[in-house]
Chain A
Amino acid sequence: MHLATLVAAESALLPSRIQMAFTLAYHIILVPLGVAFPTYTLLMNGIGILKKDPAAIRIARRWSVVMAVQFAVGAVTGTILSFEFGILWPKLMGRYGAALGLGFAIEGLAFFLEAIFIGVYLYGWTRLRPRTHFLLGMVLPPAGVLGTVSVLAANAFMNTPGGVTLGSSGQLVSVDVLGALFTRALGYEFWHFLIATYITAGFIVASIYAVAWLRGRRDHYQRLAFAVPFTIAALLTPVELVVGDLSARALVLDQPAKFAAMEVTWKTRSHNPEVIGGLLNSSGQVNFGISIPSFDSILIGTSPNTVAPGLTSVAAGARPTIAEANITHLAFDAMVGLGTAGVALMVWYFVVLLYRRRLPQSRWFYRAAALAGIGSYAAVESGWVTTEVGRQPWIVYNVMRVSDAVTSAPGAFVWSMLSVLIVVYATIAVIAVTLLLKLAGRWRREDAIEAPTAPEEGVPYGPRSESPKARQVRSS
């Protein structure tokens, strides 16, 4: 009986944080494909129309099917997220929904446009005129950008709240819409994330064809499908490094505790070293890791005399704990390391492209390219961990704590919900991967017999794929 009472009375804070982290980490996998993949698909479609290249059209057509599968999964996981704001964090929305919700309200519109036009594009290949079909698809890239900017407006509000007047007990008195949407962090968060989606989508798509190259499939179709997304993603990697650097430096002023956690700086000081790897211990020392003297200060302000903020500049209860600081730091290092590796891969690619006037032929290059997709995902997840864990203990920075926003539901309830979600999400992952593998297998067989004109079928999304009579004939 005592145990039961204990379990029932346990705070829902820990399971709520785990559940939010789990469902967001899962959803964010689908985001780069949702935002940026349509652009690559349309680009390929455009190449096909302009150059009258049937291979490019075939690629675009198949990509649109993959796009639809991942959009279907993303739509479900995204809906779950919106309910979790109510189930897990009712007090956050109750207090700041009128400001935090603004971005989400706009995102709803973008989501609607995407849902409609992905359906039109996916099922319009056969009957619509190619140009009309292409132009209708062109709604998707701006809708993706609109969705990205609006969700990041909400996230930026949590990092650098603004545009609101708060009453004596922290309640919202008035909202300046533009001020609450365009808070300080939006500028850098938006560009940093938007570019990340294009890099990640480009590399993950190209990585499929890098593997195909390694397995000996190297015809025009494979080369085109590799080169277009890879080139764009590679070109964006140095841009991302610069934007990322600007974002990190903006944090010195906007969220000094987060910046200090990223750099595991204990005390505010000049000549601050850049620590790569390493773990902060409870007395403020860093164990392990490589320390580059004064380099953090130089990165912040070009001079070793630049003062870097330390964790202790913020009261102990208002900054990340030691464990949170270490997570933030390692995630940040992972992101920067992967970003730098991406730039190295870009250099390799363009050196070969410009000097040899052809795609690289080295197996090692394609091995690296095959890893770039997974690597980009690891970077996206790390970046997200950096910004979210680095903001702790705040849900809205310096205004509301995570522990003040959490549901008063019993911990056992949230633990149960979390367990069910893990099982269901794992099932969805298996289904989605099985479906994509089946499609890939079918496409390879089609290519083997060179009759690639059959429309795609068996897609769990959008308007009908075949008449029920036809299905009936097939299954009986």
Chain B
Amino acid sequence: MNLTTALADLTAFVLLVTITAYSVAGGVDYGAGIWDILAGGGAQANRARALIDHAMAPVWEANNVWLVLAIVVCWTGFPLLFQSVFASLYPLFAFALLGLILRGAFFAFRHVEEGPGPQRRTGVVFGISSLLAPFFFAAALGAIASGRVAVGGPNVSIWQACISPMSISFGLVSLAATAFIGASFLVGDARRQGMPDMVNYFRRRAVVATVALIVMGSIALATIGFENPHLLAAMFTGLGAPFAIATMVLTPVVGFLHLRGIFHWFRLLSAGVVGSLVFAWGLAQSPYLLPGQLTIAQAGAPLGTEVLLLVVTLFVVVVILPSLGLLVYFDQRGVLESPEA
């Protein structure tokens, strides 16, 4: 293995970690939006909505950055992958983007509107947009994993590339997973805010989401077996196996913790579920970026570019992560909490 391919492997790993970071951090965020749309009306719903709003504000900007980072690492480190994926799946990305942009706009809009009535109306748009991004981004990953994206464009029609059992099932798993991690983190937020009724409210929802995730996950495994049996085999024999098993074990564990109201480790474990899910897929696919079509080594950028991406990664580790840590530290210590006027 020469230096260029080693660095290409490292870049692929960085890309996977970035996608994972977005899935976890963004998942918490989008999940909160899903519970917003499902909250309905009434006093309890207003309390839930206020908690969601409060919990989301600190994170939604920083989450966006993980997505941008994933995009730039992809087009710089694996230009051919980037071209092939977008040339094949642009409709999926267009819908995901629509969700992204509406969400940003309507989150802001809520703060302009006053009172629960208009907040609920804008909340509907906000909630729908929260469904679009996680579904369509994950659908794109499903389409890639199904092997329908070939170098330079799809090896089937655009619509067949975008709409397949795997793309739909990945999208549904993503919705269930975001609802799951969102509810789980909201339990933690409700506890920190000292809102016991909301703790129970979101605990019940976390249990429901656990069941939904197990059901959707099983369906997704079936579609993988149907469309890309090689990938299914790799998920349980290769590097991805520990993560596939971790997801399958941890998901019911988190559900059990919420069912019994045991408030230990549930947030970390929920993040572990979503992170393992992404890793199980990513590592099972390796060394292929496009299953059966394009390997990491084939798609890797020239050496100079890989070296720069290594420097960028080091910068993230040495400067960005401590800065993020500082933000989280301040936030947790209440330094950033402005008192009521």
Contacts and interface: CB of A to CB of B under 8 A. Distances in A.
Contacts of A75: 61, 64-65, 104
B330 A124 contact: yes
Contacts of A86: 71, 75, 82-83, 85-86, 90, 93
B13 to A, nearest CB: 16
Given A113-B320, A407-B87, A468 B336 contact: no
A173 B115 CA distance: 60
A112 B320 contact: yes
A322 to B, nearest CB: 33
A98 interface: yes
Contacts of B94: 87, 413, 417
Given A173-B302, A424-B105, A432-B108, A467 B193 contact: yes
A455 interface: yes
A321 interface: no
Contacts of B79: 93-98, 101, 172
A472 B48 CA distance: 10
A104 B72 contact: yes
Most chain B beta-carbon neighbours within 10 Å: one of A116, A434, A471: A116
Nearest to A464: B57
B102 A471 contact: no
Interface string A13-24: 000000000000
Interface residues of B, number: 83
B232 interface: no
Interface string A421-441: 100100110011011001000
9 contacts: A72-B108, A86-B86, A87-B97, A109-B316, A120-B330, A408-B87, A460-B108, A461-B57, A471-B53
Contacts of A85: 75
Nearest to A102: B308
Interface of B: 43, 46-47, 50-51, 53-54, 57-58, 61-62, 64-65, 67-69, 71-73, 75-77, 79-80, 82-87, 90-91, 93-94, 97-98, 100-102, 104-105, 107-112, 114-116, 119, 152-153, 158, 193, 195, 301-305, 307-309, 312, 315-316, 319-320, 323-324, 326-327, 330-331, 334-341
Given A175-B305, A460-B107, A83 B93 contact: yes
Nearest to B312: A105
A465 B339 CA distance: 8
B319 to A, nearest CB: 7
B327 A119 contact: yes
Given A98-B301, A417-B94, A420-B98, 11 more contacts: A79-B67, A86-B71, A93-B75, A96-B79, A105-B308, A108-B65, A116-B62, A174-B304, A460-B108, A466-B54, A470-B340
Nearest to A127: B335
Contacts of A105: 72-73, 76, 308-309, 312
B46 A472 contact: yes
Contacts of B90: 86-87, 90, 407, 409, 413
A119 to B, nearest CB: 6
B313 to A, nearest CB: 10
Contacts of B119: 475
Contact of B336 (A112, A115, A463): A463
A462 B61 CA distance: 7
Interface string A447-476: 000000011111111111111111110011
Contact of A466 (B68, B75, B104, B340): B340
A79 B75 contact: no
A52 B15 CA distance: 48
Contacts of B109: 431, 460
Contact of A94 (B65, B83, B102): B83
B100 A76 contact: yes
Interface of A: 69, 71-73, 75-76, 78-80, 82-83, 85-87, 90-91, 93-99, 101-102, 104-109, 111-113, 115-117, 119-120, 123-128, 139, 172-177, 180, 407-409, 413, 417, 420-421, 424, 427-428, 431-432, 434-435, 438, 454-472, 475-476
Q: Which 8 A-B pairs have the closest CB atoms?
A: A94-B83, A101-B76, A97-B79, A86-B86, A460-B108, A98-B301, A123-B336, A468-B50
Contacts of A407: 86-87, 90
A127 B337 CA distance: 8
Given A79-B68, A86-B82, A413-B90, A97 B338 contact: no
Contacts of A120: 326-327, 330, 336
Nearest to A91: B83
A389 B316 CA distance: 36
A466 B111 CA distance: 12
B108 to A, nearest CB: 3
Contacts of B330: 120, 123-124, 128, 463
B336 A119 contact: yes
Contact of A116 (B68, B73, B327): B327
A435 B87 contact: no
Contacts of B53: 468, 471
Most chain B beta-carbon neighbours within 10 Å: one of A101, A124, A454: A101
A99 B326 CA distance: 33
Nearest to B116: A475
A113 B318 CA distance: 12
Contact of B51 (A116, A455, A468): A468
A356 to B, nearest CB: 41
A466 to B, nearest CB: 5
Contacts of A413: 90-91, 94
Contact of A463 (B43, B58, B73, B193): B58
A439 to B, nearest CB: 10
Given A105-B76, A413-B91, A457-B341, A434 B304 contact: no
A89 B118 CA distance: 39
A180 B93 CA distance: 29
Nearest to A466: B340
A424 B125 CA distance: 12
Nearest to A87: B90
B339 A117 contact: no
A98 B76 contact: yes
Most chain A beta-carbon neighbours within 10 Å: one of B58, B152, B315, B341: B341
A476 B46 CA distance: 9
A177 B307 contact: yes
Contacts of B98: 420, 424
